[in-house]
Amino acid sequence: MQQDQVEQRLRAERIDTLIQEVSDLPDPQVRAMVQELIQELLDLYGEGLSRVLELTAHAGVAGKELIMSFTKDDLLSSLFLLHDLHPEDIETRVTQALVEVRPYLRSHGGNVELIKIDSGIAYLRLEGSCNGCSSSSHTLKLSIEEAIYKAAPDLIEIQVEGVTDPPPRQGIPITFVPPRRRKNDSY
């Protein structure tokens, strides 16, 4: 499974590179034709995926359970999102991500509440003893963001109340230390 995720990430990076190269093509007609080809292929595969989901859903409860199992697969879930076919809305996916991260938060004396999702922005509130402790709350915020963006990469932003930036790190004053003399060195 881990190998599949690495391969998917590498494939996505390659696609991004190729799209950038197409965007940089000097001939506007060739660039437009390649972009149209890409869009037509995406539309065709999106329509095919939509029909597969529709036919599967017509299989009753077993079909709907199968569709939900599809959403647990990272590749299928991302394809559903790409084609706006994901059977779960963004709020449901964010809520499920928070359910998964809560045990970790509670182990640090904290919790998180979803306030709302508006215009692609998730508004959260960090609660508990982690609230106000800058280094702890910052670490917990990163864990929350990672879980949410995995479940809902279509979010634009995550705003978390109750997180303060970590304080500047107190460094050890550096003083000049002359190099050691070696036996053969003379000053």
The CB density around residue 119, as the number of other CB atoms within 10 Å, is 6
**Last residue in a domain, options 82, 114, 138:** 82
Would residue 178 count as lying in a domain? no
- The pLDDT assigned to 187 comes to 47
- Structural tokens at position 126: 């960090």
Q: Examine the fold and report which residue of 82, 101, 123 is the final residue of a domain before the chain moves on.
A: 82
Q: pLDDT for 150-160, tens place per residue?
A: 889 889 999 98
Whether 186 is covered by a domain: the verdict is no
For residue 128, what are the domain limits? 90-161
Q: Do 111 and 157 belong together in one domain?
A: yes
Per-residue pLDDT, averaged over 60-75, amounts to 92
Phi, psi of 131 (to 5 degrees): -65, 125
DSSP E strands in the chain: the ranges are: 110-118, 121-128, 157-161
The residue-averaged pLDDT of 57-82 equals: 91
Give the sign of the dihedral formed by CA 63, CA 64, CA 65, CA 70: positive
How many domains does the chain divide into? 2
| Contact in structure between 102 and 111 (CB atoms under 8 Å) | yes
Residues 52 and 109 in one domain: no
Q: Is the pLDDT higher at 145 or at 169?
A: 145
pLDDT tens digit string along 130-139?
A: 545 555 667 7
152 belongs to a structural domain: yes
